[in-house]
Chains A and B, each alone.
Chain A
């Protein structure tokens, strides 16, 4: 599973990132955070909340250009934000097609809608859907153009276990089928241990890389016992980032 050693499809190096609010002390959000994501690899970024993980994502997506460092490969990335961020005044179908550049917007997406279980909802407005279904639509939008890298910002929070597991399964399936890479920010350690090929542990502000932990066991073989043991080992090594 792990593609360590291969040329990464996404490479991020943030030397430093400062926030300078007008009437407050400047805050250093990120310092010396560098990592790559290989083809077909699922990488999870884990750290305390407020640690600058979302800042890192915004930088690598090009939404924030005020930082020192370098990002490459992000032009082939697409994102699922923490909130679905759909256009409430457009149908599910229309929202998903916004994930395609205009030249390809008319293309056949029957397979994608079917695979995500959205076929019946294509004509609905997002407000008619549950949060879990809206997240699916956001995922469909991100997958519409077949990205090389999928970036996920806490995409499964505030979902019930079944909905979260369903959505996670869809992401893993796509990775296995298409060789897409995934970079996911989460603070749900159990979730990360369940699907990641590699964990990146990030410190409190300013966020910097504490450890990169490869998880070599194939995903289908990751049972409860293994997950608990892995988590316990991580918690022992990095008690300030991972709680038991």
Chain B
């Protein structure tokens, strides 16, 4: 913890020194960024934009997780599904986020649904691939036990399948969350009238206000790290409690 704090202080000090040396509004000092954050918060724009982005992240994240887990289990359990879907998955996995986003806007229109769809399509293959790994590694002995005891489907899913997938799902969630918010920003920049991505683009095009750009990214980063620490890491600890 102490090392972490020290490294953070060194980072801020270096930033301050560089800003002083440059003396330019293109490299604002930490205080200038803080000032911007305070002003933006007072205007209400900060909360509105961060809120809009968070909502998009949450919806896209939830959809991608649910579909990704289902797809991943199907891929891991069925050889036919895996062979059929492996190539499309590989294509999707290697299509740049920007291309998916532009195509979604072109084909669906400049709507909220297109924005969410773009994020889901970007994140889904990641979740599916990670969960597929989990579904391939299910304990065959427990599977035999489940069959010998004729466990019904619901019990099998709840007691045998999900607990074995949980570590993979948490990994997918944690890596997926940071991926999702980065993509949401691009999606907003390209075609939404609000959100952090929109705001960053606005300050860039209008006035090249670097303090605003750094300010927004800092605030949003803090929110996402907060979610990771307060929610996902606790979830992970909860999932591993029986070990």
Using A61-B148, A63-B148, A88-B242 as known contacts, say yes or no to A98 and B155 having CB atoms under 8 A apart: yes
Q: Please give, as numbers and ranges, the residues of chain B lying within 8 Å of A81 by CB-CB distance.
A: 141, 144-145, 148
Q: Please give, as numbers and ranges, the residues of chain B lying within 8 Å of A222 by CB-CB distance.
A: none
Q: Please give, as numbers and ranges, the residues of chain A lying within 8 Å of B155 by CB-CB distance.
A: 98, 102
A121 within 8 Å of B by Cβ?
Answer: no
**B145 and A85 contacting across the interface, CB-CB below 8 Å:** yes
B86 within 8 Å of A by Cβ?
Answer: no
A127 within 8 Å of B by Cβ?
Answer: yes
A62 within 8 Å of B by Cβ?
Answer: yes
Given B148, B152, B154, B242, which contacts A79 in the complex, CB threshold below 8 Å? B148
A78 within 8 Å of B by Cβ?
Answer: yes
Sorted nearest first, the 9 A-B pairs with minimum C-beta distance are A89-B163, A85-B145, A89-B242, A125-B242, A61-B148, A79-B148, A85-B141, A102-B152, A63-B144
B151 within 8 Å of A by Cβ?
Answer: yes
**B149 and A99 contacting across the interface, CB-CB below 8 Å:** yes
Q: Which residues of A in the span 75-100 have a Cβ within 8 Å of any Cβ on B?
A: 78-79, 81, 83, 85, 87-90, 94, 98-99
Interchain nearest-CB distance for B235 vs A (Å): 14
A-B interface contact total, Cβ < 8 Å: 46
Q: Bits for A53-80, please: 1 = Cβ < 8 Å to B, else 0.
A: 0000010011100000000000000110
A26 within 8 Å of B by Cβ?
Answer: no
Total chain A interface residues with beta-carbon distance under 8 A:
21
B147 within 8 Å of A by Cβ?
Answer: yes
A58-B163 Cα distance, complex, nearest whole Å: 25
A101 within 8 Å of B by Cβ?
Answer: yes
Interchain nearest-CB distance for B188 vs A (Å): 39
Using A87-B163, A102-B155 as known contacts, say yes or no to A127 and B147 having CB atoms under 8 A apart: no
Q: Please give, as numbers and ranges, the residues of chain B lying within 8 Å of A94 by CB-CB distance.
A: 159
Interface of A is mostly: loop
**B159 and A98 contacting across the interface, CB-CB below 8 Å:** yes
A63-B159 Cα distance, complex, nearest whole Å: 20
A98-B154 Cα distance, complex, nearest whole Å: 12
Interface of B is mostly: helix
A102-B151 Cα distance, complex, nearest whole Å: 8
**A85 and B142 contacting across the interface, CB-CB below 8 Å:** yes
Q: Please give, as numbers and ranges, the residues of chain A lying within 8 Å of B149 by CB-CB distance.
A: 78-79, 98-99, 141
Interchain nearest-CB distance for B236 vs A (Å): 14
Other A-B pairs, 10, CB within 8 Å; known A87-B160, A98-B149, A102-B154? A58-B144, A78-B148, A79-B148, A81-B148, A85-B145, A88-B243, A90-B163, A102-B152, A102-B155, A127-B243
**A62 and B141 contacting across the interface, CB-CB below 8 Å:** no
B150 within 8 Å of A by Cβ?
Answer: yes
Interchain nearest-CB distance for B145 vs A (Å): 4
Q: Please give, as numbers and ranges, the residues of chain B lying within 8 Å of A102 by CB-CB distance.
A: 152, 154-155
Interchain nearest-CB distance for A207 vs B (Å): 20
A58-B141 Cα distance, complex, nearest whole Å: 12
Q: Which residues of B in the span 208-243 have a Cβ within 8 Å of any Cβ on A?
A: 242-243
Q: Which residues of B in the span 147-191 have a Cβ within 8 Å of any Cβ on A?
A: 147-152, 154-155, 159-160, 163
A-B contact pairs, 28 of them (CB 8 A): A58-B144, A61-B148, A62-B147, A62-B148, A63-B147, A63-B148, A78-B148, A79-B148, A81-B141, A81-B144, A81-B148, A85-B141, A85-B142, A87-B142, A87-B159, A87-B160, A87-B163, A88-B243, A89-B163, A90-B163, A98-B149, A98-B155, A99-B149, A101-B150, A102-B152, A125-B242, A127-B242, A127-B243
Q: Please give, as numbers and ranges, the residues of chain A lying within 8 Å of B243 by CB-CB distance.
A: 88, 127
Interchain nearest-CB distance for A76 vs B (Å): 11
Indicate the member of B144, B145, B150, B242 with the most A CB atoms within 10 Å: B145
The residue in chain A whose Cβ has the minimal distance to the Cβ of B152 is: A102
Interchain nearest-CB distance for B91 vs A (Å): 31
Q: Please give, as numbers and ranges, the residues of chain B lying within 8 Å of A101 by CB-CB distance.
A: 150, 152
Q: Please give, as numbers and ranges, the residues of chain B lying within 8 Å of A61 by CB-CB distance.
A: 148
The residue in chain A whose Cβ has the minimal distance to the Cβ of B166 is: A89
Interchain nearest-CB distance for A55 vs B (Å): 13
Q: Bits for B72-91, please: 1 = Cβ < 8 Å to A, else 0.
A: 00000000000000000000
